[in-house]
Amino acid sequence: MQTTDQGLRIAGTEDSLKAGERGPTLLEDFHLREKIMRFDHERIPERVVHARGAGAHGHFQVYESLAGLTSAAFLQDPKATTPVFVRFSTVVGSRGSADTARDVRGFAAKFYTSEGNFDLVGNNMPVFFIQDGIKFPDLVHALKPDPRKEIPQAASAHDSFWDFVSLMPETAHMVMWVMSDRALPRSYRMMEGFGVHTFRLVNAAGETHLVKFHWKPKLGAHALVWDEAQLIAGRDPDFHRRDLWDAIAAGAFPEYELGIQVVPETDALRYGFDLLDPTKLLPEEVVPVRLVGKLTLTRNPSNYFSEVEQVAFCVANLVPGIDVTDDPLMQARLFSYLDTQLTRLGGPNFAELPINRPIVPVHNHQQDGFGRHAIPTSEANYHPNSIAGGMPKAATGPGAFAHVRERIDGQKLRKRSGSFADHFSQATLFVNSLSGPEREHLIDALRFELGKVERPEIRSRVIDEILAPVSLEVAREVASAIGVPPPGGRFHVSAHPPGQPTTSPALSLAITVPGGIATRKVAILASPGSSGRDIAALRKALVAGGAVVEVIAGTLGPIDDEDGKAVAVDKSFLTAASVMYDAVAVPSGEVGLGALYADPQARRFVLEAYRHGKAIALAGGARRFTAVWGAGEESGAAGDPAAEPGVVFGALGKEFTAAFVTAIGMHRHWGR
């Protein structure tokens, strides 16, 4: 029988104690508090989750006043800028794990506003695994390595995670996201962010609306492929943090637009699901995302530990005009984040650390404790007092935070609301919204993950209880590869909510593919005797579009081109690989081409780029490299419809470089 740490037997550990099924979580839930408190303090000093991170400073500006929706000061004046610190992260792995693991990514933003700090603590996926925060310790324990052997690190491909999933149908939607390309972002700069929960906006008149927060990267949302992610983990485990740092250092400042989906309070149950359910999203085709402002990251940290490691986010860091809802996962986070910092940062005074300190004065009666930075001088450290003239006293009027007043009427109970019961329809919506290649990647990911599960009963249960209700086709394709029987005829996809879309194009990364080449990394392969004119022409055209160009050769140091002129080499094949770049080009020059084609590392470089769907430019005689993927000399030419998608070859000129730039802007070419 499950008990508390005091030996008290527990009647239920699936739901927190609430005032009514859809009501707020109660502070008296000692089981929730003990369970979360024990979980929060399991690691010292590393974060239990989101341990692997990167951060940057920047600023936010709203496009137009949102006074009609919220009284939040930083959302009023388009001319004002608000300082922001953002931390990106993986969730499961330790600080020493690789950046490119298949995982959820954190996207947490701390706004230093004129009314205090506002933390928008989100992820790169709009939903979560569980509906109630009391299950968070169970989820993370299942995701983390086997406690006996600390294996595997930063991976969900193991028995305990899929055992948990197979027994918790509410995880189905999030599992589809984590098995998709969304779990392998190309860059933090090319990654969407979401507030996950439904928040409230409150205007000066006290009128409220429900809101979902979104971050939309200006560079578009793009992903790696699984094979590429694994290779990068070996070549450069710091791939994402290096990419972010280098871009900011080069002045290519990452930009994200803040978007909101706003609905009336009365519409919380209108859309066929409950807006308080964190395993659900609000389709953009039903309620469009309104872009209201822009975040620009302009400065790297001065010290990683002092800023990225010591930054303390909390869902409860709110400002007037933004409030929480009764989402039971959000309610637990209000407690959990604050509690976690007591262990991580050595006591209650973590808000006084420079990275956490608000830009407005702080006045209260907080006293002493580890790490105290402030030096209060008042004789009175209590309220009410007469010694200090009654100061500081409670704020009143505009600018003072006040919780939304709402009637609470319900029995005290541990029970899930019936409006949270649909676990599969949005998982089906997500799968149905993917492009063909994305769907293939999802199936391959499920085959890989479940192929690592040792217990056949768990594999079977995932097929029957999770995948089959989402998509019989996906379930059957996965089952055939992992050695378990396909789902039988009794299984069916769950009923779709009436009036809701059956597909949502916004959920697919394919719609964000076409674009420019700003900050894209392009490798030009060279060898002594390569055409220096080709290299210069390619570099000029690509840099004009904002791309980053590097020349790769067999050795470092300058090489002589076919005219005997020196060409600088940025990296060698020993330290560079195609997975580090978005595109590859091979210049003409017969002597150089002969040496390159004879080098197995150069051939592998081009072949990997081809296999990963990247743009490839082969100038002049470089078209011989088509043989590395089995094509002949007559496989097409630049502008020839017979050419493979994304592969450009022919004489280097304006048409050639224009075609290559266009191909890079497509990100991937799955039609090959």
Q: How confident is the model at residue 400 (pLDDT cuts 50, 70, 90)?
A: confident
Residues with catalytic annotation? 50, 123
Other Cβ atoms closer than 10 A to 441:
21
Other Cβ atoms closer than 10 A to 325:
22
Q: Which CATH class is domain 420-511?
A: mainly alpha
Structure tokens at 558: 């300058």
H runs (alpha helix) in 418-464 = 425-432, 436-451, 456-461
Sheet containing 521-525: order of strands: 571-572, 548-553, 521-525, 583-586, 615-619, 647-650
Other Cβ atoms closer than 10 A to 147:
8
Please, which residues have CB within 8 angstroms of residue 617's CB and are 6 or more apart in sequence?
538, 583, 584, 585, 586, 648, 649, 656, 660, 663
**% of the chain exceeding 70 in pLDDT:** 97
d(CA 642, CA 493): 41
Chain segment 403-422, per-residue pLDDT in tens:
898 888 889 899 999 999 99
Structure confidence at residue 27 (pLDDT): 87
Structure confidence at residue 493 (pLDDT): 57
Domain residue spans of the chain:
17-352, 420-511, 513-665
Chain segment 304-346, per-residue pLDDT in tens:
999 999 999 999 999 999 999 999 999 999 999 989 998 899 8
Residue keyed to tokens 């409230």:
200
Q: Residue 78 — φ and ψ, nearest 5°?
A: -65, -20
d(CA 335, CA 301): 28
CA torsion sign, 430 to 432 to 437 to 440?
positive
Question: Which of 9-13, 387-391, 613-617 has the weakest average pLDDT?
Answer: 9-13
Instruction: Determine contact, residues 190/236, Cβ cutoff 8 Å.
Output: no
Structure confidence at residue 638 (pLDDT): 45
Q: How confident is the model at residue 490 (pLDDT cuts 50, 70, 90)?
A: low
Structure confidence at residue 634 (pLDDT): 43
Structure confidence at residue 639 (pLDDT): 42
H runs (alpha helix) in 485-548 = 532-544
d(CA 211, CA 122): 14
Cis peptide bond prior to 45, omega within 30° of 0? yes
**If you average pLDDT over residues 285-294, what whole number do you get?**
97
CA torsion sign, 22 to 28 to 29 to 35?
positive
Please, which residues have CB within 8 angstroms of residue 607's CB and are 6 or more apart in sequence?
628, 629
To the question of domain 17-352 being in CATH 2.40.33.20, the answer is no
Cis peptide bond prior to 384, omega within 30° of 0? yes
Instruction: Determine contact, residues 508/176, Cβ cutoff 8 Å.
Output: no
d(CA 125, CA 176): 11
Structure tokens at 321: 């005009």
pLDDT at 507 over 50: yes
Chain segment 159-172, per-residue pLDDT in tens:
999 999 999 999 99
Strand partners, 308: none
Q: H/E/C letters for each residue in 157-199?
A: CCHHHHHHHHHCHHHHHHHHHHCCHHHCECCHHHCCEECCCCE
Q: How far, in whole angstroms, is CA 177 from its chain's centroid?
A: 11
Structure tokens at 433: 């919204």
**If you average pLDDT over residues 339-361, what whole number do you get?**
92
Instruction: Determine contact, residues 354/434, Cβ cutoff 8 Å.
Output: no
Q: How confident is the model at residue 511 (pLDDT cuts 50, 70, 90)?
A: confident
> Helix axis angle, 328-344 relative to 30-40, nearest 10°?
40
Structure confidence at residue 215 (pLDDT): 98
Buried b (16+ CB within 10 A) or exposed e, 37-47: bebbeeeeeeb
d(CA 549, CA 542): 7
pLDDT at 514 over 90: no
Q: Residue 476 — φ and ψ, nearest 5°?
A: -70, -40
pLDDT at 19 over 90: yes
Structure confidence at residue 491 (pLDDT): 55
Instruction: Determine contact, residues 19/408, Cβ cutoff 8 Å.
Output: yes
Please, which residues have CB within 8 angstroms of residue 408's CB and are 6 or more apart in sequence?
19, 20, 23, 24
Q: In terms of DSSP bridges, do strands 521-525 and 548-553 run parallel, antiparallel, or are they unpaired? A: parallel
Q: In the chain, how many H helices and how many E strands?
A: 17, 20
d(CA 296, CA 160): 40
Other Cβ atoms closer than 10 A to 3:
10
Please, which residues have CB within 8 angstroms of residue 538's CB and are 6 or more apart in sequence?
522, 524, 549, 585, 587, 617, 619, 652, 657, 660
pLDDT at 485 over 80: yes
The secondary structure of the chain in percent helix, strand, coil, rounded to multiples of 5, reads 35, 15, 50
Q: Residue 190 — φ and ψ, nearest 5°?
A: -125, 45
pLDDT at 74 over 90: yes
| Residue 300, amino acid | N
Tell me which residue of 610, 620, 618, 619 sits closest to 645, measured CA to CA: 610
**If you average pLDDT over residues 173-190, what whole number do you get?**
98
Structure confidence at residue 500 (pLDDT): 82
Q: In terms of DSSP bridges, do strands 322-323 and 255-264 run parallel, antiparallel, or are they unpaired? A: unpaired
Structure confidence at residue 641 (pLDDT): 41
Q: Is residue 16 classed as helix, strand or coil in its secondary structure?
A: coil
Structure tokens at 487: 């789902």
Average pLDDT, the chain: 93
Q: In terms of DSSP bridges, do strands 647-650 and 615-619 run parallel, antiparallel, or are they unpaired? A: parallel
pLDDT at 154 over 90: yes
**% of the chain exceeding 90 in pLDDT:** 81
Structure tokens at 168: 């918790």
- 338/175: higher pLDDT: 175
Q: How confident is the model at residue 44 (pLDDT cuts 50, 70, 90)?
A: low
**If you average pLDDT over residues 422-431, what whole number do you get?**
96
**If you average pLDDT over residues 374-397, what whole number do you get?**
87
What is the rounded end-to-end Cα distance, in angstroms, of the chain?
A: 57
pLDDT at 633 over 60: no
Q: How far is CA 185 from CA 101, 102, 401, in A?
A: 10, 9, 37
- CATH assignment of 513-665? 3.40.50.880
Q: How far is CA 589 from CA 118, 528, 654, 661, 664, in A?
A: 58, 9, 19, 22, 23
Structure confidence at residue 636 (pLDDT): 44
Chain segment 565-615, per-residue pLDDT in tens:
999 999 999 999 999 999 999 999 999 999 999 999 999 999 999 999 999
Whole-angstrom Cα Rg for the chain: 27
Structure confidence at residue 218 (pLDDT): 96
Chain segment 493-506, per-residue pLDDT in tens:
566 777 788 999 99
Chain segment 192-237, per-residue pLDDT in tens:
999 999 999 999 999 999 999 999 999 999 999 999 999 999 999 9
Q: In terms of DSSP bridges, do strands 199-202 and 208-217 run parallel, antiparallel, or are they unpaired? A: antiparallel
69 conformational bin, left if phi > 0, alpha if psi -120 to 50, beta if neither:
alpha
Structure confidence at residue 642 (pLDDT): 45
Tell me which residue of 539, 594, 538, 585 sits closest to 562, measured CA to CA: 594
Element (DSSP H or E) covering residue 566: strand 566-567
